[in-house]
C-alpha cells in the first residue's frame, strides 16, 4: 500500500509540475482568449493608461506616452472582444490574470 501511495503521489506531483507548462502557451477561460507573443509596438495615443488587467475598468498602474516603444509578451482578447497586450510583469493562467496591460487600439506595429 505504501508503494502504491508513493507512486500515486509522485505521479500527481509530475502532473502538477507540468500544468503551468501546458498553460504557458495559451489560456482561454471565462470568455477571454490569450496567447504568448513577442512583439514591439509604438504608442499612438498621447497618454495611454496601463491597467492591472485587460479591462478599461481595471486599476490604472501607469501611463505610456505617444511614440514610446513597448514590448508585448501576451496578446489577449477580453470577454467584450477588446484586444489588449501585456507589456510587463505578466501572469496569465486559468486562475489569475495580472500584469501591465495596454489596450491594443492605442498601439501601432
For residue 67, being part of any structural domain is answered with yes
Helix (H) or strand (E) holding 10: helix 2-24
Alpha carbons 85 and 47: distance in angstroms, whole number = 16
Q: What percent of the chain has pLDDT over 70?
A: 72
Which region holds residue 99: left if phi is over 0, alpha if psi is between -120 and 50, else beta?
left
Domain total in the chain: 1
**pLDDT value at 69 more than 80:** yes
For residue 84, being part of any structural domain is answered with yes
Look at residues 4, 5, 38, 30 and name the one whose alpha carbon lies nearest to residue 109. Answer: 38
- pLDDT tens for 32-68 read 899 999 999 999 999 999 999 999 999 999 999 999 9
Comparison of pLDDT for 13 and 106, the residue scoring more: 106
Alpha carbons 61 and 41: distance in angstroms, whole number = 19
For residue 66, being part of any structural domain is answered with yes
- pLDDT tens for 6-39 read 443 443 443 333 323 233 345 555 688 999 999 9
Amino acid at each position: 500500500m505504501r508503494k502504491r501511495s508513493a507512486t500515486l503521489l509522485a505521479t500527481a506531483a509530475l502532473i502538477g509540475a507540468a500544468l503551468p507548462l501546458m498553460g504557458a502557451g495559451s489560456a482561454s477561460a471565462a470568455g477571454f482568449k490569450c496567447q504568448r507573443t513577442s512583439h514591439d509596438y509604438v504608442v499612438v495615443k498621447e497618454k495611454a493608461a496601463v491597467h492591472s488587467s485587460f479591462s478599461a475598468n481595471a486599476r490604472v498602474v501607469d501611463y505610456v506616452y505617444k511614440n514610446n516603444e513597448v514590448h508585448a509578451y501576451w496578446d489577449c482578447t477580453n470577454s467584450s472582444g477588446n484586444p489588449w497586450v501585456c507589456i510587463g510583469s505578466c501572469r496569465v493562467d486559468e486562475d489569475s490574470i495580472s500584469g501591465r496591460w495596454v489596450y491594443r487600439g492605442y498601439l501601432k506595429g
